[in-house]
Structure 1
Amino acid sequence: MTRPRLVGLSANVQRPSKTRALVDAVLGEASAQADLDVRILDFVDAGPGLGAAWTRDQLPPAARSVLDAIEAADGLVVGSPVYKGAYTGLFKHLFDLVDPGALAGKPVAIVATGGGARHALVVEHAFRPLFGFFGALQIPTAVYASDADFHAGLLTEAGVQARAAEAGAQLAALLVHRNATAPLTLAAAE
């Protein structure tokens, strides 16, 4: 049996990043709970060509590899900084290029970061409808963190840490269950 592929995607365009730290926290808990093949990607990895591509076939190789990793994943942890009450435009642009059926039934954990508490509902009002369109299996616990929840780039607020751990555990449980109940393929049965 192969290990489930869990991809973390942080829509930050610089390193280090609070969004990346929050995605890492959920990925860390998920991988502590289960034997997963974990990969994390930042928008920095996609390069500037992501924003210049109007269609999938216009994506440069670096951006195409990010898109391919998202579509091939068994589960996702997605995160974006909040701008004007929603995920970034580049985040939406990338998901506009994702095949509409590629995320159907796949577990997704949602995280977001923002300057203050007033953006906390972005996970419910912006992210959930987007992943609902794809038919993704959104885990119940979403995580939002504001600037005050970090110190020197590290997540330090105990309540947010607990939510990140809860989200990671829920995601790991779903991935393990799905992997254990997946039908054997002909190649795996031989």
Structure 2
Amino acid sequence: MRVVGVSGSLHEPSKTTALIAEILRRVGAHLDVESSLIEVASIGPAFAGALTRDALPPEARDALEQIETADLLVVGTPVYRASYTGLFKHLFDFVEQYALVGRPVLLAATGGGERHALIIEHQLRPLFGFFQALTLPLGVYASTSDFDGYVLREGSVSERIDLALERALPILSHGGRETPSDRISTW
């Protein structure tokens, strides 16, 4: 199973990237996976000025190919002005509209406090709903107090990751990957 993590953080190091990396590690503890992590902070300057997919440099096109062909996506963003970061959204603006149909996506976010936790339900779930992706039942939100520097502390968020994966494993271990044409339903 190919698992791709996407961190929408604009900074390195990043709590969001640390959270995504921890989720990827734990997915790998349950399933046989090949994982990779795409960091917007690293590739953002390469695609920030592009207006069309054809104008993207090779590293941005490679990131898109990884996203579009993953068996599972683990995506996360810091809360920035009550939403995801602009470059995170800009990256997903280039994803082909039907490439993620039926694809399992585990949603995650980080923020300064608990009041930002609804970003998962009010911003991320609708974004991936547009793509007709299969957003997994539980998302993972971590606030600044859940970290020691850039290391996730043991506690409620760690337990939330375990619960999110427990609920996702039946879906993830269900079987083979469909092709995009298999997943697009016709009316």
Compute the TM-score of the two structures, normalised by the length of structure 1.
0.88
**Alignment partners' CA distance in 2, 1:140 and 1:26:** 15
* Match in the other structure for 1:90: 87
Corresponding residue for 2:27? 30
Q: SS at 2:20's partner residue?
A: helix
2:159 is paired with a residue whose SS is helix
Q: Are the aligned partners of 2:8 and 2:40 in contact in 1 as well (CA < 8 Å)?
A: yes
Same amino acid, percent of matched pairs? 48
Number of the residue aligned with 1:114:
111
Residue 134 of structure 2 aligns to which amino acid in structure 1?
L
- Contact 1:23/1:78 (<8 A) preserved: yes
Counterpart contact for 1:80–1:111, Cα < 8 Å: yes
Higher normalized contact order (CA 8 Å, seq sep 6+, divided by chain length):
1
Q: What is the number of equivalent residue pairs in this alignment?
A: 179
| Residue in structure 2 matched with residue 145 of structure 1 by the alignment | 142
User: For the residues of structure 1 that align with 2:77 and 2:44, how far apart are their CA atoms?
Assistant: 16
The CA deviation string for residues 125-167 of structure 1, in whole angstroms up to 9 with x for no partner, is 0000000111101111101111111012111151111111222
2:97 touches 2:131 (CA, 8 Å); kept in 1?
yes
Residue number among 5, 9, 23 corresponding to 2:6 in the alignment: 9
Aligned CA distance change for structure 1 residues 136 and 162 (closer, same or farther; 3 Å): same
- Whether 1:178 and 2:175 are equivalent positions in the alignment is yes
Q: Which runs of 5+ in 1 are unaligned?
A: 184-190
Q: Which runs of 5+ in 2 are unaligned?
A: 180-187
TM-score (norm 2): 0.90
Instruction: Tell me if structure 1 keeps the 8 A contact 2:68–2:95.
Output: yes
1:103 equivalent in alignment to 2:93: no
Pairing 1:147-166 to 2, within 5 Å after superposition? 147-166=144-163
Q: CA RMSD in A?
A: 1.7
- 165-174 or 53-62: bigger deviation: 165-174
Looking at structure 1, the residues matched to 11 and 17 of structure 2 have their Cα atoms a distance apart, in angstroms, of 9
